Amino acid sequence: MPTELADPRTRVLEMVKKVTTIATIPEVTAKIIRTIEDPRSSAANLHQIVSHDPALVTRILKVVNSAFYGLPGQIGSIERAIVLLGLNAVKNIAVAASIGQLFRMGKLCEGFTARDIWTHCIAVGVAARDLARQARSPVADEAFLCGMIHDVGILIDLQRHPEQLREVCDQVKFGTREFCELEREITGVDHQQLGEALAEQWKFPRSCQLVAGHHHDPNSLAGSNRTLVDLIHVADTICCRSKHGFNLTACRQTLDPADLARMQIDPAHVELTTARLDELVSVASAFMG
């Protein structure tokens, strides 16, 4: 049973506030997010921020020349890389560089470490991006970002209540109950609530906050807010079923034709993304792992 008696919202805010090591993101990443969210910003504004971080410049050039974006030729100029990739893609690279460092906090339970959560988040990001691209949706880059951060709430549980999180994992592995249900019973909150609060504190786009907070229960949202949440829900299900990284959060989630029809996601796209998931994850992990 939960060790503290408080309403869930109060408990969530207290937990996020106390997690000092992950409660903030690097200032350069925060500046990039603010710049991208400002409709008046340009590639020149972004270049001015990025150029002051040599490590980020190196990472962006590595990505732009990788198979992940499939651009022709070798690009050595950060200005040209930003123009070719686009502002949202640069934001995603900066976020990946920042939050990827957070998934190093040790063991979740037998068979899984924090790095396995990051592997899973990368997989969900690339799967969601692939599904969006197949549908010719304009949210492909945003879907990738949402996938990368969707399970960040687990990090708070891992830091604040590692023994209770281990108990949740063990019960999921050897029982029949859902991960979120057990989290709420054992710790008082689930990783969706924690993730939404953390994404809000990081000042991530509202779409990211909603994905972090509802990716296991998209039906809890109004239809106008569900496009990306539905996409991540499907990608999460695919990746957990395929056992890419930490898969206990959605190992029993299923996708039936009625769900996909409501989400307006083509089952053929799901099959194709599933078939090439190993390749997609391998390419992305080469520069994000």
Taking only the tens place, the pLDDT of each residue in 226-283 is 999 999 999 999 999 999 999 999 999 999 899 899 999 999 999 999 999 999 998 8
Q: Is a pLDDT exceeding 60 seen at residue 3?
A: no
Is there a contact between 237 and 250 (Cβ–Cβ < 8 Å)?
Answer: yes
The pLDDT of 5-33, averaged and rounded, is 74
When pLDDT is cut at 50, 70 and 90, the band that residue 218 belongs to is very high
Q: Is a pLDDT exceeding 70 seen at residue 22?
A: no
**pLDDT confidence of residue 265:** 94
Q: Among 2-16, 53-67, 82-96, 232-246, which stretch is predicted with the lowest mean pLDDT?
A: 2-16
**pLDDT confidence of residue 20:** 59
User: What are the CB-based long-range contacts (under 8 Å, 24+) for 32-36?
Assistant: 32/90, 32/91, 32/94, 33/91, 33/94, 33/95, 33/202, 33/203, 33/204, 33/205, 34/203, 35/87, 36/87, 36/88, 36/90, 36/91
Phi-psi region of 115 (alpha: psi -120 to 50; beta: other; left: phi over 0): alpha
Taking only the tens place, the pLDDT of each residue in 182-201 is 999 998 899 999 999 999 88
Q: Which domains can be identified in the chain, with CATH numbers?
A: 8-24+103-288 (1.10.3210.10)
Q: Is a pLDDT exceeding 80 seen at residue 69?
A: no
- What sign does the CA torsion over 119, 30, 144, 284 have? negative
| H and E: helices and strands count for the chain | 17, 2
Taking only the tens place, the pLDDT of each residue in 89-99 is 888 888 888 88
Instruction: Please state whether the predicted TM-score (pTM) of the whole model is above 0.95.
Output: no
**pLDDT confidence of residue 76:** 85
Q: Is a pLDDT exceeding 70 seen at residue 289?
A: no
Q: Is a pLDDT exceeding 80 seen at residue 105?
A: no
Q: Is a pLDDT exceeding 50 seen at residue 284?
A: yes
Distances (CA, A) of 160 to 59, 156, 157: 32, 6, 5
Is there a contact between 212 and 236 (Cβ–Cβ < 8 Å)?
Answer: no
Give the percent of the chain with pLDDT over 90. 48
